[in-house]
Amino acid sequence: MVSKTYKTSEAHRKKLSEAQKKAWKNGSYKDRKTPDVGGDNNPFFGKKHTPETILKIKEARAKQVITKEHKENISKANRGIHFNPNKDMSHYNSVHYWVKKNKPKSKLCEHCKKVPPTDLANISGEYKRDINDFLYLCRKCHMIQDGRLKN
Ligand SMILES: [Zn+2]
């Protein structure tokens, strides 16, 4: 019974991480909430257990509120997706801040010129303190640019 509980939490973690990755990709991470562990998000959904096991799972679940450690792991994973850990974070932040201050946000995405920009995108990947190294892009163009101009 001990090993079963362990496997569950492993599978659960994987599921959470996949859901988070998807959310990051489609941009819905902005409205993310506490991960949903009910219904078909639960790895046990649709599977059958003996009533005894179900009871045990229920008990465990009641106790197993998402722990602080768990939350930290999720947030660490998210950071890993969004930022290149090899880059100096404080540099990244300060350059972004600097560019936002020195480069007025364009009314339309500088690439497609159709929709208002949502992102400040770096072109060279080096985060130069140079407004010409940055473009205000819509989410879609930013995604395209990210894929195409990988350094
Ligand atoms: Zn665009």
Same domain, 75 and 96: no
Same domain, 77 and 121: no
Average pLDDT value for the chain:
76
pLDDT band at 130 (very low <50, low <70, confident <90, very high): very high
Instruction: Specify the number of domains making up the chain.
Output: 2
pLDDT of res. 104? 95
Same domain, 74 and 132: no
89 CA → ligand 1 middle, Å: 26
140 CA → ligand 1 middle, Å: 6
Same domain, 7 and 77: yes
pLDDT tens digits, one per residue of 7-56: 557 777 777 777 777 776 766 555 555 555 556 666 666 667 788 887 88
pLDDT of res. 73? 76
The torsion of the CA quartet 138, 142, 148, 151, rounded to 10 degrees, works out to 150
Task: Please enumerate in sequence order all residues whose Cβ is within 8 A of that of 31, keeping only pairs 6 or more positions apart, or say none.
Answer: none
